[in-house]
Chains A and B, each alone.
Chain A
Amino acid sequence: MGRFAVKKILIANRGEIAVRIARACREMDISPVAVYSECDRAALHVRYADEAYPIGPSAPRESYLRIDRLVETAKRAGVDAVHPGYGFLAENDDFATACRDAGLIFIGPTPEAITLMGSKTAARTAAKKAGVPVVPGTEDPLSPDVPDAEIGRIAAQIGYPVLIKAVAGGGGKGMRTVTDPADLPSAIRAARSEAGAAFGDPAVFVERRLARPRHIEVQLLGDEHGTVLPFVERECSIQRRHQKVVEETPSLAVTPALRDAITSAAAAVARTVGYTSAGTIEFLLDEDGRFYFLEMNTRLQVEHPVTEMVTGLDLVHWQIRIARGEKLTLDPRALLTPSGHAIECRIYAEDPDNNFLPSPGRILALRPPAGPGIRDDSGATAGLDVPIFYDPMISKLIAWAEDRPRAIARMRRALTEYLVAGIKTTVPFFTWLFAQPEFLAGRFHTTYLDEVLAARAGRPFVEPDAEAEEVAVMAAALQAVMTAPAVSADRSSQPIASRWKQQARVQGSR
């Protein structure tokens, strides 16, 4: 046990990640406390927690981003610690400071480390200090009063294509690729607007876009006793508009020598800032085998389960153990030696056949996949409304198997089991992706998906054949017949007496 007792944790988040953290709490005999906005009263994370408190209206700025209300709620509930999850305030140094000032343990790095690594420009400086190469780009953030013409000059110097990125960004928001200088002003405007709305900071910076890089990242754990341990790499090159959609570990592109180099580089960057808790260092791996520091995420990541699946460890448990002052007692070699292969699909409430437009609404029926090697980290249940206010991810689906082909086969099996009615999800898209030769062979890079999607020009991902069409017509008609009030054949809603009669008829007819 560590120096601090943690018996009760407030989870300052919602949806699937709040449920996932609450599960870790239960396993560690810690009482989970939920918070919720107006539209989340019925959400799974509220039902799963021991205690739950309202924190305001549905808009994130009025609830999940309200530091004052969260801290006040934490004190009122008498918790020892606060877990921010990811998104919302997870990388907000003011929140970490407010927790510390209120005598609460913030389950994450220090506010100082968040401040430093949360600024993409400051993080690049830290990486250079650790001797790790960075992608060419601007050294200082470009605040909103920097004129477009000035940014245009900078972009021309760096060389097109460039990426406009939010200094406080993450999750693909506030990021735009610019190939043609003429598109620069509108890209800056869009990036600033998204960054301002999502992170409250419209500052951007400019970075060269490598031609066909792969996204390789290294999970780390650091304790308060000076130990920083890197894990086997994850590959997240399958991205749509800079947003990861599939993550896996280990990477097909990483040799043992490269693994040693990239994980050591990651640990070196983290050590220069005295990093504690879970964090991830992201790299771009160029076609020539060179890698560049991209940024550090000072929090748990959406794709953390794939690392858990191949190492057998629970990263949320370790975040909590580190927060209560425990020492990292893990074998460093074991963390770099994956057992089998794991892949994650981010299941979104989006319509893949309609340009991935959000598809909020009521989930009418839901049966997630299960069985060997499958893990579904979900915040969704039947009867629940997927609100329009938040990220559309409803679940993370993870498949583990002894090798990559078997993990893919298992994921394909799981996708056929994923039954959702009422909203559209990205499941049909994944069904298509997991049959693509390039994906199966591991021949991809960070713009692979955007390129093939553009080339497909909106064709449906799973096109029904004659058989599926016939069965669909059959089902639609039968559903109409069976729900017609005069001929109620709904077994579940039939009175018990008539079910007895029905049973008697069946018996008699034998």
Chain B
Amino acid sequence: MQYEAEINGRSRLVIVARDDGGFVVSIDGRSWRVDAARIDRHTLSLLVADADTGIRLKPHAAAGAHEAGRTVGYEVTVARDPATARLAVRVGATPVFVGLESGRRWRRKDEQHGGGSGPQRVVAPMPGKIVRVLVQTGEAVHARQPLVVIEAMKMENELRTARDGTVSEVHVREGASVDAGSVLLVIT
């Protein structure tokens, strides 16, 4: 199986092949032999060994990591992040967000963190109630300006724009309930 993975703005080519009861996983041409056990629907135990020269991955930077023949264990959870439609992966204690598409390029559905060009869609990061809408269609906004106040779990939270622009669409009204991931405003 072949996948296109996006991580921290970088695209990586991943190929997974079954091999002798386990898997061989290659990322951008580098291969590992992986024994993967599913613990539950979202939890994997991975035992990873370098397929060519022993081990490169390591649990602790200090621990004689380059010895050949070592197999390193990881406990990993994988779940979809409803706000961004990416995969929220946790490797040990480290959260990593991965966009994964089979075969074709993965496109970011959430542009709100991007400082780049194109419309910025401001989405609700969690379900909640819109307490205040602070801008109107056509209004010029500057980076970090508060746009909407959303209330969830007894706290009011301001959502701000990532960059300068103009409010081109407003999709919510005060008092409205919204789901995680719903588009509230668009800044162009």
Contacts and interface: CB of A to CB of B under 8 A. Distances in A.
Given A469-B7, A473-B14, 9 more contacts: A360-B153, A473-B27, A474-B46, A475-B46, A477-B14, A478-B46, A480-B1, A489-B36, A490-B41
The SS class assigned to the B binding surface is strand
B130 interface: no
Contact of B93 (A173, A382, A431): A431
A252 interface: no
Interface string A242-275: 0000000000000000000000000000000000
Contact of B12 (A197, A198, A473, A475): A473
Interface residues of A, number: 63
Contacts of B154: 173, 197-198, 390-391
Given A428-B95, A476-B98, A482-B38, A419 B5 contact: no
Contact of B92 (A390, A416, A482, A483): A416
Q: Which of A355, A364, A492 has most B Cβ within 10 Å?
A: A364
B25 interface: yes
Given A354-B125, A388-B128, A469-B96, A475 B91 contact: yes
Contact of B153 (A358, A415, A428): A358
A462 B93 CA distance: 8
Interface residues of B, number: 58
B44, B76, B91, B153 — most chain A CB neighbours (10 Å): B153
B16 to A, nearest CB: 5
Q: Which 7 A-B pairs have the closest CB atoms?
A: A472-B96, A421-B77, A475-B76, A472-B89, A358-B153, A421-B79, A358-B152
Interface in A453-510: 460, 462, 464-465, 467-484, 487, 489-492, 506
A416 B76 CA distance: 12
A422 interface: yes
A357 interface: yes
Given A471-B74, A472-B7, A472-B96, A365 B43 contact: yes
Contacts of B180: 361
A45 interface: no
Contact of B77 (A419, A477, A489): A419
Contact of B78 (A467, A475, A489): A475
Contacts of A388: 126-128, 152-153
Contacts of B43: 365, 419, 421
B5 A357 contact: no
15 contacts: A351-B125, A357-B125, A361-B126, A388-B126, A388-B128, A388-B152, A421-B90, A462-B94, A464-B95, A465-B94, A467-B58, A468-B91, A472-B96, A474-B46, A476-B5
A467 B88 CA distance: 16
B67 interface: no
A355 B146 CA distance: 13
Given A422-B79, A477-B1, A390 B7 contact: no
Contacts of B96: 464, 468-469, 472
A467 B41 CA distance: 24
Contact of B156 (A194, A460, A471, A481): A194
Most central of B3, B40, B79 by chain A CB within 10 Å: B79
